[in-house]
Amino acid sequence: MKKTLFFFTVLVSLVGYTQTDQEFIKKFYDSSLSNGKSYSWLDHISNEIGGRLSGSENAEKAVKYTKSELDKLGLDKVWLQPVMVPKWVRGEKETAYIQLGSNKKIEVNICALGGSVATSANGLKASIIEVDGMEALKIMKRDEVAGKIVFLNKPMDATLIQTFRAYGGSVGQRVNGAAEAVKLGAVAVIVRSMNLRLDDYPHTGTMRYGDLPVEKRIPSAAISTNDAEKLSKMLKENKDVEFYFKQSCKQYDDVQSYNVIGEITGSDFPDEYMVIGGHLDSWDLGDGSQDDGAGCVQSMEVLRLLKESGIKPKHSIRAVLFMNEENGLRGGKKYAEVAKQKKENHIFALESDSGGFTPRGFSFSCNDVVFEQILSWAPLFKPYLIHSFERGGGGADIGPLKNDKIVLAGLRVDSQRYFDFHHTAIDTFDAVNKRELELGAATMTSLVYLIDKYGFDQNNNSSN
């Protein structure tokens, strides 16, 4: 028996797939593109509900809506998983200007960073000093910085084709800038928006004070890239520059929210789980259509396409719409905590959180044997222009599931335009292309189908 299984496994590794697989995959793409539901679900989430910051009324509306839509798919189980989430509220629209000399004011576009404290009710005005990112800040002296606003202006690296790497290289100044600047006596932090192009939209995003006591926290905001350039130029040309801004954001006590989960229970291995997901919360400036309404509706569409195909998955397949990825990751942590408590064996998790753009492939956190097996399926994806199978991380929400066995994956898309929209007022429904979104959903479904059918060549994935 064991020997037969071994030969079967070797055979599958060599051949990789069958004609039936090609046919099923074609059906997934055909259906997603011709009668898929992902785009209309996204329309509702974006246009009928809108931005879904954790703890907001809209976030709860999105929980109810997506649960009710999953209920209509005829799945085996749909439920809400309770999780406590932080609640931060932006308050009234921020205002800011550059003060040149005694009477010239130039208005600029800013937005408070998520988690920041407010300025005083009248705003805050101080002289401002430009710093080229976190490394430069760390070697500055207290007397250079004390009493001033620190302007962190390190741009994203335009030469990196993988724009998420450019983001990773600069986002530290947004997340940790205030905590670092306060050590040198700064009174506030203004950060260049995480954006590869020049425009007028400030990009919000999370920031952290670490264990800094509340009374020592300084306000932190993002400035649009056009205005960052303007401010930088003025600082170079003119010594007499001050900066004024006013924001009224506030952190409240944690509130109850939920992860939304739908499941098709496995026929052969009901106790082995495969997860596909995105995050249901979003920032508040736009509708969160790219980040990450797209990943949520694609994950829902995976279950719809599998149901429609008539396939009875061997493993239990769950779509998980995680709450609070943006400013706490509480949903991802809660899901992993409950899975551990219940001793649920998760073999695979796939996240879509890079926007609803044209899919290019996947990144995988797995060992060499599993990766070779996945590569053997590459020809099945070729007709759909999916060609990029790389090693790498899966996604923030599924990260807490990591252990020796699970294979984690991320849907990789053409990310060149993602940071035009990310965390801004223009991350809205019209920023998402219908076909691109649908191609992503079908691509995810195809991978899930193959992994469910063939399993992994070995159970222990310990080298990942």
- Residue 148: which of 117, 134, 127, 162 has the closest Cα? 127
Residue 281, interface with Zn ion (CB under 5 A)?
no
Residue 353, interface with Zn ion (CB under 5 A)?
yes
Residue 284, interface with Zn ion (CB under 5 A)?
no
Residue 452, interface with Zn ion (CB under 5 A)?
no
Closer CB to Zn ion, 291 or 420, in the complex: 291
**435 contact partners, CB below 8 Å, separation of at least 6:** 33
Please tell me whether residue 2 adopts helix, strand or coil conformation: helix
Minimum CB separation of residue 464 from Zn ion in Å reads 23
Minimum CB separation of residue 276 from Zn ion in Å reads 15
Minimum CB separation of residue 205 from Zn ion in Å reads 10
Minimum CB separation of residue 26 from Zn ion in Å reads 30
Catalytic pick among 325, 326, 351, 438: 325
Closer CB to Zn ion, 279 or 346, in the complex: 279
Question: Between β-strands 110-112 and 220-223, what pairing exists: parallel, antiparallel or unpaired?
Answer: antiparallel
Query: Encoding tokens for residue 245?
Result: 């801004």
Rounded to the nearest 10 degrees, what angle do helices 434-454 and 294-309 cross at?
Answer: 50
Closer CB to Zn ion, 344 or 436, in the complex: 436
Closer CB to Zn ion, 287 or 292, in the complex: 292
Query: Encoding tokens for residue 412?
Result: 């990789």
Q: Which 286-305 residues touch Zn ion, going by CB under 5 A?
A: 291-292
Per the rule left: phi > 0, alpha: psi between -120 and 50, beta: everything else, 120 is beta
Stretch near Zn ion under the rule CB under 5 A, chosen from 134-142, 188-196, 283-291, 433-441:
283-291
Closer CB to Zn ion, 263 or 353, in the complex: 353
Measure Cα distances from 292 to 50, 162, 317, 415, 462 in Å. 12, 19, 20, 14, 30
Residue 397, interface with Zn ion (CB under 5 A)?
no
DSSP type of residue 455:
-
Note if 180 is an active site residue.
no
- Residue 352: which of 436, 269, 239 has the closest Cα? 436
Query: Encoding tokens for residue 105?
Result: 């004011």
Q: Give the active site residues.
A: 325
Q: Which residues bind Zn ion (CB under 5 A)?
A: 291-292, 353
